[in-house]
């Protein structure tokens, strides 16, 4: 009997509209941000405390300092510079002024902060301040550019006069540097241009390339290689077409010749009327004469005997015509053979011509490449020569000019801004440090939480996947420790039933599964997860116990043939199981055992671990077994391997009412879960819904009610026992309200 799937409960990902990409997509969700901050509150507090403490300590430890600065224009605009800038290829347009790009401004600042300029400044200042060192001098110097073409030079020190002296020396050094750099640039440029032109390097290069181009044309007897290549390509195309037509004619003639051979092998009377020989008029005339003679022989034979002279004359006439017919046949064959040989010779000739032209075209491609390279080099060399000639003229004009170097915005150095004392505020630093630390902590917390890329709450799981959430299982130390012990244990052990409140959650989970199958009941399902550590086996066992406790005849099948654990979790042996049923003729009823935990719960262990579990689970025998179990039990639960990396769960789910995915909150990676959903979507496996396991959210109202009800029930039972013990001698017992 085939397993019927409900049209209502199984959710195919394509039908449910699950956005697999949404598992990795992020958005601004204030609830999620708040939860992330609560999870990382210690990290935020640590950042805030460290940064605030460091800022306060720095404010207290630093003594008051003095600061001063001056501004210098690195690209002065004058009438002379404007005039030179109009001349092409001059250095005057941007000789020593800092360029507009940010990288070049940084380069200029780095040069001004280098020992090349500052060493002389430090040496002059050391005559007045002997304790001044180069390292401390550089650390207190600040050069920046807030506006285009303007540098701001600042210096800080504990002494007012020292700041003023340093700024004066720096201003003078930078002005001298600008003048020296300008003169040096112009002189170097003139020397370089003259050397390149006077020695004839550029001219020689242009002449050599022109001679090389002329030689290439002469050796290959061409003017434009590209035009020649186009002509050769056209010839190749024409010859290829001719070769194709010749080949078609050759095949046609060869087929006709073969057909002629077949006809000649037949008797003249047996040959078809539309034969090849019938197209030959001479052959047809001779054949007609032979046929007329045959007719006359048959006609005369009715009157005369064979010895009659008339009959003998007719037979002699026929005998004379047959050699003529043979001669004509040979002539036709010879014509066909000559035509075929002619076509073969033409084909060989065309092939030789094509091979020669293709070889010439390949050689022409090399010549064309060399030709283009020479032309490109010649163009570059010619342009370079023209530029250097223009540059030489421009430099000669610029050399005769006296362009001004950098300028101070305040020409009188004595009017440089007076240094002013600054005193850091401990309170301000503490507030700023605390604010900065808080922001850094929040950023670090969000970054760490984002990089963790895991599901923390059932709400995130449901909103991300858009699949039905069948239940939320809170984190239980009892179940976690028990599962871990069972996985590490080598002998049989018995796992205790979940606590009352937790067990009620699994009853609610089973109820939700029943409601999914309102049209067709859920009779079998697969319990799986994205990863092996999501608690799917624990959920499968507790769900089976809950369904059995509700009066259902439940079979729990350990289909995890790679790492079976259910037999240890329910206190059974794994001597025979699913593997034996599939791989041998063993009846499935002989391997099923009743669970010691619940009367209505039956367990089929995995059995020996097979070398290829996927082949067993995909077998026809496994499908037949699942159909029998589906019709025998009220509910069949299959515990399988994880989805990612294994095909076992998808193979089994295809023969059940669907798969129930268990997601372990707090550890399950979003990307891993997305991969699992993608594999399910590819396989077309129906999904019943999700179970959020190991939830550390606040206790749901229903679970709190279960706990209160369980506590109240325990108190009532205890009171009943006390009252019965006190009134055991009385004939009537007190009845509790």
pLDDT at position 415: 43
Position of tokens 């760490």? 448
Rounded to whole angstroms, the Cα distance separating 253 from 347 reads 14
Give 737 or 71, the one with higher predicted confidence: 71
Run of H or E residues at 380: helix 309-399
pLDDT at position 4: 46
| Domain annotation covers residue 342 | no
Average pLDDT over residues 86-114: 63
| Domain annotation covers residue 79 | no
Give CA 210 to chain center in angstroms: 51
| Domain annotation covers residue 16 | no
Burial of 600 (0-12, 13-18, 19+ CB in 10 A): buried
pLDDT in tens, 225-258: 777 778 888 888 888 898 888 888 888 888 877 7
Hey, which of 56-60, 307-311, 450-454, 632-636 has the most confident mean pLDDT?
Answer: 632-636
Average pLDDT over residues 428-435: 73
Are the C-beta atoms of 688 and 539 separated by less than 8 Å? no
Average pLDDT over residues 291-307: 78
Are the C-beta atoms of 542 and 623 separated by less than 8 Å? no
Give 147 or 616, the one with higher predicted confidence: 616
Assign 630 a pLDDT band (cuts: 50, 70, 90): very high
Are the C-beta atoms of 536 and 665 separated by less than 8 Å? no
Query: Starting at the edge strand that comes first in sequence, how are the strands of the sheet with 601-604 ordered?
Result: 469-474, 687-695, 659-664, 524-529, 635-639, 554-558, 601-604, 592-594
The overall average pLDDT reported for the chain is 74
Residue 126, classed as helix, strand or coil, is helix
| Domain annotation covers residue 256 | no
* Confidence check: pLDDT of 495 > 50: no
Average pLDDT over residues 286-311: 78
Rounded to whole angstroms, the Cα distance separating 565 from 489 reads 10
**DSSP state for residue 274 in the 8-state scheme:** T
pLDDT at position 270: 58
CB half-sphere exposure, 485, CA atoms < 13 A: 14
| CA nearest to 160, candidates 138, 181, 129 | 129
Assign 79 a pLDDT band (cuts: 50, 70, 90): very low
| DSSP β-bridge partners for residue 156 | 67
Output the pTM of the full model: 0.43
pLDDT at position 560: 92
Assign 588 a pLDDT band (cuts: 50, 70, 90): very high
Number of domains in the chain: 1
Run of H or E residues at 33: helix 30-39
| Domain annotation covers residue 46 | no
C-alpha distances (whole Å) from 533 to each of 117, 529, 658 are 66, 8, 21
Give 255 or 736, the one with higher predicted confidence: 255
pLDDT at position 220: 72
Average pLDDT over residues 434-447: 73
pLDDT at position 373: 82
Report the percentage of the chain scoring pLDDT > 90: 13
pLDDT in tens, 712-732: 443 433 444 433 344 333 323
Give 192 or 564, the one with higher predicted confidence: 564
pLDDT at position 13: 52
| CA nearest to 533, candidates 668, 442, 410 | 668
**DSSP state for residue 2 in the 8-state scheme:** P
| Domain annotation covers residue 199 | no
Burial of 509 (0-12, 13-18, 19+ CB in 10 A): buried
Q: Where are the alpha helices (DSSP H) in 277-308?
A: 281-301
| Domain annotation covers residue 158 | no
* Confidence check: pLDDT of 119 > 80: yes
pLDDT at position 485: 52
pLDDT at position 200: 62
Helix axes 160-198, 309-399, angle to 10 degrees: 130
Range of the domain at 643: 454-720
Rounded to whole angstroms, the Cα distance separating 177 from 43 reads 51
| Domain annotation covers residue 63 | no
Rounded to whole angstroms, the Cα distance separating 608 from 576 reads 7
Assign 54 a pLDDT band (cuts: 50, 70, 90): confident
Rounded to whole angstroms, the Cα distance separating 697 from 704 reads 13
Antiparallel, parallel or unpaired: β 659-664 and 150-157: unpaired
| DSSP β-bridge partners for residue 66 | 157, 421
pLDDT at position 709: 43
pLDDT at position 601: 94
Antiparallel, parallel or unpaired: β 687-695 and 659-664: parallel
pLDDT in tens, 399-420: 665 555 688 777 665 444 444 4
pLDDT at position 31: 64
pLDDT at position 283: 72
| CA nearest to 570, candidates 543, 539, 596, 600 | 596
Average pLDDT over residues 165-178: 84
CATH number of the domain that residue 587 is part of? 3.40.50.300
Q: Dihedral (C-alpha) 308, 314, 317, 322: value to the nearest 10 degrees?
A: -120
């Amino acid at each position: 009997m085939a397993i019927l799937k409900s049209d209502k409960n199984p959710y195919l990902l394509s039908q449910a509209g699950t956005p697999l990409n949404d598992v990795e997509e992020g958005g601004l969700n204030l609830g999620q941000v708040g939860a992330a901050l609560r999870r990382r509150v210690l990290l935020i507090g640590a950042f805030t405390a460290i940064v605030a403490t460091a800022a306060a300590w720095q404010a207290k430890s630093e003594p008051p300092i003095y600061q001063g600065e001056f501004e210098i224009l690195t690209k002065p605009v004058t009438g002379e510079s404007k005039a030179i800038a109009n001349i092409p290829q001059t250095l005057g347009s941007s000789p020593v002024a800092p360029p507009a790009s940010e990288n070049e401004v940084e380069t200029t600042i780095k040069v001004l902060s280098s020992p090349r300029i500052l060493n002389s400044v430090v040496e002059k200042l050391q005559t007045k301040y002997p304790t001044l060192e180069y390292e401390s001098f550089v650390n207190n110097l600040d050069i920046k550019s807030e506006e285009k073409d303007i540098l701001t030079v600042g210096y800080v020190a504990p002494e007012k006069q020292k700041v003023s002296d340093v700024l004066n020396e720096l201003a003078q050094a930078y002005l001298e540097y600008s003048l020296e750099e300008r003169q040096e640039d112009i002189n170097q440029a003139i020397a370089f241009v003259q050397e390149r032109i006077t020695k004839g390097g550029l001219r020689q290069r242009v002449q050599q390339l022109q001679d090389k181009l002329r030689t290439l044309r002469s050796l290959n007897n061409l003017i434009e290689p590209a035009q020649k290549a186009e002509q050769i390509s056209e010839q190749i195309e024409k010859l290829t077409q001719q070769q194709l037509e010749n080949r078609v004619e050759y095949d046609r003639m060869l087929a006709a010749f073969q057909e002629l051979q077949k006809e000649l092998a037949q008797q003249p009377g047996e040959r078809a009327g539309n034969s090849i020989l019938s197209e030959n008029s001479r052959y047809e005339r001779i054949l007609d004469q032979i046929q007329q003679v045959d007719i006359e022989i048959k006609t005369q034979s009715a009157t005369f005997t064979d010895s009659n002279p008339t009959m003998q004359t007719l037979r002699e006439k026929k005998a004379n015509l047959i050699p003529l017919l043979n001669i004509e046949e040979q002539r036709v064959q010879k014509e066909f053979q000559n035509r075929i040989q002619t076509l073969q010779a033409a084909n060989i000739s065309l092939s030789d011509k094509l091979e020669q032209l293709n070889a010439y075209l390949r050689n022409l491609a090399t010549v064309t490449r060399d030709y283009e390279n020479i032309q490109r080099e010649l163009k570059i060399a010619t342009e370079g020569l023209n530029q250097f000639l223009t540059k030489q003229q421009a430099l000669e004009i610029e050399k005769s000019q006296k362009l001004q170097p950098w300028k101070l915005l305040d020409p009188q150095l004595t009017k440089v801004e007076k240094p002013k004392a600054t005193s850091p505020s401990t309170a301000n630093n503490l507030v700023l440090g605390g604010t900065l630390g808080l922001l850094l902590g929040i950023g670090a917390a969000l970054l760490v939480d984002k990089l963790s890329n895991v599901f923390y709450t059932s709400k995130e799981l449901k909103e991300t996947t858009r699949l039905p959430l069948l239940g939320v299982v809170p984190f239980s130390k009892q179940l976690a420790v028990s599962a871990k012990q069972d996985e590490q244990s080598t002998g049989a052990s018995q796992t205790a039933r979940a606590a009352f409140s937790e067990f009620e959650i699994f009853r609610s989970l089973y109820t939700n599964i029943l409601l999914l199958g309102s049209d067709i009941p859920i009779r079998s399902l697969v319990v799986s997860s994205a990863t092996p550590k999501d608690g799917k086996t624990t959920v499968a066992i507790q769900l089976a116990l809950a369904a059995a406790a509700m009066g259902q005849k439940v079979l729990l099948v350990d289909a995890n043939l790679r790492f079976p654990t259910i037999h240890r979790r329910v206190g059974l042996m794994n001597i025979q199981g699913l593997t034996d049923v599939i791989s041998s003729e063993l009846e499935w009823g002989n391997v099923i055992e009743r669970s010691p935990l619940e009367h209505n719960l039956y367990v089929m262990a995995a059995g020996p671990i097979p070398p290829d579990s996927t082949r067993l689970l995909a077998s026809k025998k496994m499908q037949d077994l699942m159909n029998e179990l589906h019709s025998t039990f009220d509910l069949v639960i299959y515990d399988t391997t994880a989805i990612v990396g294994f095909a076992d769960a998808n193979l089994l789910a295809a023969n059940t009412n669907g798969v129930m995915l268990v997601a372990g909150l707090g550890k399950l990676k979003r990307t891993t879960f997305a991969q699992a959903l993608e594999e399910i979507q590819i396989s077309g496996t129906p999904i019943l819904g999700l179970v959020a396991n190991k939830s550390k959210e606040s206790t749901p109202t229903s679970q709190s009610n279960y706990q209160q009800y369980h506590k109240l029930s325990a108190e009532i039972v205890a009171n009943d026992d006390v009252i019965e013990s006190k009134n055991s001698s009385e004939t009537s017992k007190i009845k509790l309200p």
